[in-house]
Amino acid sequence: MIFWLIIAVIAVYLIITYNSLVNIKHNVAKAWANVDVLLKQRHEELPKLIDTCKQYMKHEQETLEKVTQARSRVSDARESHDVAALGVAESALRSGLGQLFAVAESYPELKANEQFLHLQSRISGLENAIADRREFYNDSVNINNVRIEQFPDVLIAKIFNFKASDLLKFASEELRDVDIGQRFNS
116-132 pLDDT, tens digit per residue, is: 788 888 888 888 898 89
Return the higher-pLDDT residue of 56 and 144.
Answer: 144
Full domain range(s) for residue 149: 23-185
**How many Å apart are CA 121 and CA 104, to the nearest integer?**
14
CB burial string 24-51: b at 16+ within 10 A, e below? bbebbeebbebbbebbebbbebbeebbe
Quote the number of domains for the chain. 1
**Looking at the domain assignment, is residue 18 inside a domain?**
no
On whether residue 3 sits in a domain, the answer given is no
14: in domain: no
Q: Is 157 inside a domain boundary?
A: yes
pTM over 0.75: no
State the Cα–Cα distance between residues 28 and 81, nearest whole angstrom: 13
Q: How confident is the model at residue 17 (pLDDT cuts 50, 70, 90)?
A: very high
Give pLDDT, residue 172: 54
Left if phi > 0, otherwise alpha if psi is -120 to 50, otherwise beta: which for 161? Answer: left
In a domain, 66, yes or no: yes
CATH code of residue 70:
1.20.1440.20
The model's pLDDT over 45-68, given as tens digits with 9 standing for 90+, comes to 888 887 777 776 766 777 778 888
Residue 186: what pLDDT? Answer: 42
Contact between 137 and 81 under an 8 Å Cβ cutoff? The reply is no
Q: Is residue 63 part of a domain?
A: yes
* Residue 1 domain flag: no
Distance between CA atoms of 45 and 18, rounded to whole angstroms? 41
Instruction: Provide CB contacts within 8 A for 95, sequence distance 6+.
Output: 70, 173
Residue 160 lies in a domain: yes
